[in-house]
Structure 1
Amino acid sequence: MKQLYVVEDKENSKICQLLSSLEKKEKEIADCQRNIMNIKKHATDLQMFLSMKQIEIDVYSNNTFLQSLVEGEGQHSLSYKINTSIQNIMADIISFGEVRIESKPFDIVLIKKKTKQAQMMVPTVQSSPFENIKLTIHKTINTKDFIYGCCMLPGGRIAFTYYFAQTVKVFSDKGSTDFEMKMPCSPFDIIYISEDNTLAVTSGVSKKHCITIIDIRRKQIKKTISLDSSIDGIALKNNTLIYSSRDIGIRMINLYDESISDLVRDAMPSECYTSTFRDNIYYTKNVTNTVICYNLQGKVQWTFHNESVLRNPRGIDVDNDGNVYVAGYRSNNVVVISPDGQRHREVCTARDGLIDPFTLHYSGPTNQLLVANFNKNKSFLFNCT
């Protein structure tokens, strides 16, 4: 390819020079033709006789130039001559390889019962971690204003979205404001992306539908990803963001190429939150007081609905064992649902300071649960044991 580019540049240069010469000669011949016409029309016989000598010289010069072009190198064309050695290789090699199926032992060990076993051994079943979950208050954060989204960062820092103030604030592990970022729209939910140390923030019902990426180290907006619909809750799975798209469903966007695909086609009401764990996606549907679990193919795995314990569910997240934590906005509590959706427990209530809890986030590395009240100035960080 490099050789081709060099040859092409060289030939293009020659062509440009030739065209320039032809344009110059074309102008000279046109001037000569005009002179001849003027001489025929206006000159006397004597003036015509005296001019003919110069005209013959000009015609001869132009004719010589044109003749040199015709008798020159001729037309040029690009061609490729294959190396004969390659042809020999192709004749000798029948194929470049072959597809094989290799067999190897399974990584599974089957334990057979003894055919003459007299007694049956009953294994000891440990109690499920779900039954032992306990939350204890670690610290209280004075957040103030209206909180729609929250997440925990490495080093004990915590980030909140202030919807009406159009601001994202990051608090230090001591509870003081580390920095705050003015947003181009009203921020709704927020998630931390450890791969590049950024925050992804959704735009809720703002006129500008987008996901804003904030560079935490530089404390500035890295980029804005424009979308075609309102976007509320957001979660992270590998290098993709899974989000609740209002009136469309649950969608997934690849952070590398920003390609979008649909996971669940189901019209979403406003302020739905979403989370993910292994091959499942969870989201809260506040208008029907339900929590729904889907697989990655969009098939419902289970639905939780119990208005006596959970009303107007909002924020949702999953711990390391697959237990699902949900903030009950109108029931003033946090309810944990078992991985199969069959059992539930109320793990903190208004007695623990929850008043209109709107959003929450579970930190797997620290086993802590962050719960933010909507507009009661306080958020709580619990230790989960």
Structure 2
Amino acid sequence: MSSTSVLPCDTCKYRKNENPAVHWCSECEEGLCADCYTHHTHSKTSRKHGIITIDDYEKLPAFIREKRHYCNEHDEKYEYFCSVHNTPCCKISSDTEHKNCKGLSLISDIVHGVKQSVVFLEMHSMIENIKQNMDTILKDKEINLKTIHESKIKFQSEIKEIREKLTNLFDTLERKLLEELESVEKKIIQQSEDFINEVTDGKNKVMKIQENIDAIKKHATDFQAFVGMNDLKDEVENRKQYLQIVYEDSRLDRINIRCNINEKIKLFLTDVQTFGEIEGERSSAKDLFSVNTHEIKETHDKSKASESKPSKTRSDPAAKAKVKRTLIVPAGSNKNTITSCAVLPNGKFAFVDGTYNHRIVIMDSTGTSSGEISLSPLFAFDVTCIDSKTIAITTGSSGQIAFANILSKKIKKSIGTTWQCDGITHVDGKLIFSVYSKGIHVLHLDSGHISTIHKANITVDTYVTSLGDKIYHTNWKTNSVTCFNLDGNTLWTYEDDKVLQKPRGIAVDSKQNVYVASLGTESIVVISSNGKEGRQLLTKKDGIENVRAIYYDNNNNCLLVSTLSGSAFLFEL
């Protein structure tokens, strides 16, 4: 009812008078003016009726005002409530359509004290609790928006600071290189000028001898020419010897200046495509809620748990893992960046350290280094075994797949992929590898033909692995692992950012359980073979910190894991 409408007094209206109602009798369902209200409260039949002011009446929700005390069909007051049909009924209805209903109760008994009933009080408490939660949510969101703005300001400052540091660094490097260029030029000019002066002096002496010879020929007597010939011969011989010395002098070489720009700077210019990445980071806000539904939730959770609890089967992932061996990858000339690892057919371990050191480190089962395979100047990202002698290595932004002999530790050949390639795995004579922004590609080793088998928006640092006809790949931007078949059809995708964040290295055991290096949670996550369940198998307390490299050895049921700096662990499952 609109607050601007005027409710008439129904008693006066019946007597053809028009007076506004100031009270409302819920029992009679009529409006009452001041005079009729006085009469109504003094009448024996209505003095006990529940009367409220019109203002209070209009505060009632519309659906409550529509709840009548009288039967629309018989114009009789409701006296009973039928629990079978969940409806009130009058005396006539109780004797007719509800006469066979066994759930009839007197309304006066049912409604007595209803506002103080447990259900009503719980409902009131619940809605108050919900309101408080809504207030908390709104307040938290307000704080969250403020935090987002503060983070933006902070990161703007950090980005600007990094930019200034880069500018200062490149300015300093440029200044040093230009100073070196100036210094080298001066040195070369000085050396050249000294040499030129020396040769010029020698030339003048030669010209003087030449003038003497011409003068003797023209003006000296034969006797003078004969006697002076020996002196001239000595001077000519001296000049000849001097010329021989000049021929052998390194200063005779033509000199030019060469500038070798640091390869890392060139790679920086080509490899760095973004200044960084901005992404939203979620964290649960469920701890804000305090809805008092403990018993209902507990019952629901117990029911849900009993329905979803899987039965223990032979394909369940290992419950525990223990360290079988610890390895330390030898330091390179630059800092180690271990991005991949593998257990070779001969039982040795291979670690990819290709960002700064451009190498594959081979170690035996005792943890002793067995040599290195150099890929310089190419980068190295991931490795997979082809046979007992050959491994294939992706080179990241170098855009090639290199093939190396394990025994000779030499690169045999490389094949261009035309784009950045990262993760790689070997399946029955085929190399499956990820290509940035293009998808998952396959290289047929017999023909050298490359094709796409799974089109997807692949990010950099995407790892792949395989088992049988199933291929698995990570996506650190979507915090997901996807399984698909050799036809490129997706079988399942696992996502749960409470368990898995920024996934990198990936491996699979013979039972199709998938192991993933979760960089964001600093853990090793194991995902069930159907992709429906995941949990953290190893955590930071197990040494899992900044891990990208992971490999499952199905022959020995062992999991090889390495940190970025080169601390490696062989876990027995």
| TM-score band w.r.t. shorter chain | 0.5 to 0.7
Mapped contact 1:290–1:304 kept (Cα < 8 A)? yes
The residue type equivalent to 1:168 in the other structure is: I
Name the SS of the counterpart of 1:287 in structure 2: coil
CA distance in 2, matches of 1:277, 1:306: 23
Q: Residues 131 and 255 (structure 1 numbering): CA distance in 2 closer, same or farther, change over 3 Å?
A: closer
From 133, 156, 163, the counterpart of 2:347: 156
CA distance in 1, matches of 2:320, 2:358: 35
Q: Distance in 2 between matches of 1:226 and 1:265?
A: 20
Q: Which whole-Å CA distance do the structure 2 matches of 1:177 and 1:131 have between them?
A: 32
Which of the residues 379, 386, 401 maps onto 1:186? 379
Query: What is the rounded CA distance, in whole Å, between the counterparts of 1:273 and 1:254 in structure 2?
Result: 19
Matched, 1:167 2:167: no
Distance 2:408 2:425 in 1: 23
- Give the gaps of 5 or more residues in structure 2: 1-310
Q: Which has the larger share of strand? A: 1
> Does 1:138 find its partner at 2:324?
yes
Equivalent of 2:481, from 291, 300, 308? Answer: 291
Asked if 1:217 corresponds to 2:407, the answer is yes
CA distance in 2, matches of 1:211, 1:127: 40
Matched residue, 1:59: none
Is residue 542 of structure 2 the alignment partner of residue 349 of structure 1? no
Higher normalized contact order (CA 8 Å, seq sep 6+, divided by chain length): 1
Report sequence identity in percent: 32
Residue ranges of structure 1 left out of the alignment (5+ in a row) = 1-124
How far apart are the structure 2 equivalents of 1:142 and 1:157? Answer: 14
Q: CA deviation at 1:242?
A: 0.2
Give the 3 Å change call, closer, same or farther, for CA 131–197 of structure 1 in structure 2: closer
Provide TM-score, normalisation by structure 2: 0.44
Determine whether 1:253 maps to 2:443.
yes
Higher helix share: 2
The Cα shift of 1:372 comes to: 1.1
Separation in structure 2 between the aligned mates of residue 126 and residue 349 of structure 1, nearest angstrom? 23
Task: Establish whether residue 197 from structure 1 lines up as the match of residue 383 from structure 2.
Answer: no
Question: How many Å separate the matches in 2 of 1:187 and 1:131?
Answer: 31
Secondary structure of the structure 2 residue equivalent to 1:130? coil
CA distance in 1, matches of 2:344, 2:469: 24
> 1:190-244: CA deviations, max 9, x gaps?
01122x52111001123xx111111112221111112211100001101110000
Aligned counterparts of 1:362 and 1:132: Cα–Cα separation in 2? 13
Question: Does structure 2 retain, via aligned residues, the 8 Å contact 1:363–1:369?
Answer: yes
Superposed CA offset, 1:4-62 (max 9, x none): xxxxxxxxxxxxxxxxxxxxxxxxxxxxxxxxxxxxxxxxxxxxxxxxxxxxxxxxxxx
AA aligned opposite 1:161: V
Q: Which amino acid aligns with 2:375?
A: M
Supply the distance in 2 between the matched residues of 1:357 and 1:302 (Cα, whole angstroms): 25
CA contact (8 A) 1:141 1:379 kept: yes
- CA–CA separation in structure 1 for the residues paired with 2:314 and 2:344: 29
Go from structure 1 to structure 2 and tell me whether the alpha carbon gap of 1:154 and 1:297 turns closer, same or farther (over 3 Å shift).
closer
Contact 2:317 2:513 in 1 (8 A): no
Letter in 1 for 2:410: Q
Moved over 4 A (4+): none
For residues 349-378 of structure 1, the C-alpha deviation after alignment (integer angstroms, 9 at most, x for no partner) is 111011011120111111111111113x30
Whole-angstrom distance in 2 between the partners of 1:334 and 1:132: 12
- Amino acid paired to 2:315: P
How far residue 267 of structure 1 moved from its aligned partner, in angstroms, is 2.1
Q: Kindly provide the amino acid, as one letter, of the partner of residue 215 in structure 1.
A: N
- CA distance 1:131–1:177, change in 2 (3 Å): closer
- 1:337 aligns with 527
1:192 and 1:199 in contact (8 A); partners too? yes
Corresponding residue for residue 379 of structure 1: 568
Q: Distance in 2 between matches of 1:187 and 1:234?
A: 11
Cα offset, 1:154, TM superposition = 2.7
Q: 1:129 to 1:266 in 2, by over 3 A?
A: closer
Aligned Cα RMSD in Å? 1.4
User: In the TM superposition, what is the alpha-carbon distance from 1:131 to its structure 2 partner?
Assistant: 4.8
Distance change in 2, residues 1:366/1:131 (3 Å): closer
Once the two structures are superposed, what CA deviation does each residue of 1:86-126 show, in whole Å capped at 9, x if it has no partner? xxxxxxxxxxxxxxxxxxxxxxxxxxxxxxxxxxxxxxx86
CA distance in 2, matches of 1:133, 1:257: 43
The question of whether the paired residues in 2 share the 8 Å contact of 1:295 and 1:301 is answered with: yes
SS of aligned partner of 2:440: strand
AA matched with 2:324? H
Q: Does 1:233 align with 2:233?
A: no
Aligned residue runs from structure 1 range 1-385, under 5 A: 127-143=313-329, 144=331, 145-163=336-354, 164-184=356-376, 185-194=378-387, 197-206=389-398, 209-375=399-565, 377-384=566-573
Deviation at 1:182, TM superposition (A): 1.3
Distance change >3 Å, CA 126–CA 269, structure 1 → 2:
closer
Q: Post-superposition shift, 1:128?
A: 3.7
Partners in 2 of 1:228 and 1:320 — Cα distance?
33
Report which of the two structures shows the higher radius of gyration computed on alpha carbons.
2
Q: Measure, in 2, the Cα distance between the counterparts of 1:299 and 1:154.
A: 31
What secondary structure, in the 3-state scheme, does the structure 1 residue paired with 2:316 have? helix
Distance 1:131 1:173 in 2: 26
Report if aligned partners of 2:425, 2:431 keep a CA contact under 8 Å in 1: yes
8 Å CA contact 1:155–1:173 kept in 2: the answer is: no
* Offset from partner CA, 1:319-356 (integer Å, 9 cap, x none): 01010000001211111101100111211111101101
